[in-house]
């Protein structure tokens, strides 16, 4: 049975777009994440931490939370597991004695250097369903939506 809310064209349009966005993200994740786990032994969240540290360098956990858009408690668990696996180290932060820097270990750097090119190639292949212009437009629309949602 339709409710008054779902009869509203703006609501129907927004919900339809949201469902399609979520389904697309879930479908892409379902294709990418098992390979990360099977080939490299890391979860999507762990890969995100390793990739951020590889591209941006050591950083406090709070900055990692901002970069990855995850809560501190979730990230603490992810970093604990990465540290147990010997892929990252927590150490002193010369800029702020209250916070520790998270940095890649040599083992973590080797793993992400091996895993990232494969992952990037899979993402490129999956997004190859869109033209270059469509990929650019999708990126711009996602950025616009994300920024507007932060307000």
Q: What are 91-147's pLDDT values in tens digits? A: 877 877 777 899 999 999 999 999 999 999 999 999 999 999 999 999 999 999 988
- 60 Cβ contact partners less than 8 Å away, ≥ 6 residues apart: 93, 96, 99, 100, 101, 102
As a whole number of angstroms, the distance between CA 146 and CA 86 comes to: 34
57's CB contacts (< 8 A; 6+ apart) are 103
pLDDT tens readout for residues 52-105:
999 999 999 889 988 888 888 889 999 999 999 999 999 877 877 777 899 999
Q: CB of 91 within 8 A of CB of 100?
A: yes
- Residue 113 sits at φ, ψ, to 5 deg, of -65, -30
How far, in Å, CA of 99 to CA of 95, rounded?
Answer: 9
d(CA 77, CA 38): 21
Among the CATH numbers 1.20.910.10, 3.30.360.10, 1.10.10.10, 2.170.190.11, which is that of 25-115?
1.10.10.10
Q: What is the pTM of this model?
A: 0.86
Phi/psi for 60 (5° steps) reads -65, 155
Give, in degrees to the nearest 5, the angle at Cα 93 between 92 and 98: 90
Q: Are 44 and 33 in contact (CB under 8 A)?
A: yes
């Amino acid at each position: 049975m339709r409710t008054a809310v779902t009869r509203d064209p703006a609501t129907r349009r927004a919900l339809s777009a949201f469902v399609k966005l979520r389904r697309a993200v879930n479908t892409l994740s379902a294709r990418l994440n098992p390979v990360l786990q099977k080939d490299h032994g890391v979860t999507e969240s762990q890969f995100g931490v390793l990739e951020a540290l590889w591209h941006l360098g050591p950083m406090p956990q709070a900055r990692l939370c901002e970069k990855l858009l995850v809560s501190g408690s979730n990230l603490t668990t992810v970093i604990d597991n990465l540290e147990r696996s010997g892929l990252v180290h927590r150490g002193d932060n010369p800029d702020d004695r209250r916070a520790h820097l998270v940095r890649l270990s040599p083992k973590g750097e080797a793993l992400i250097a091996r895993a990232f090119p494969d992952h990037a190639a899979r993402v490129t292949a999956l997004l190859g369903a869109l033209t270059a212009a469509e990929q650019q437009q999708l990126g711009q629309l996602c950025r616009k939506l994300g920024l507007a949602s932060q307000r």
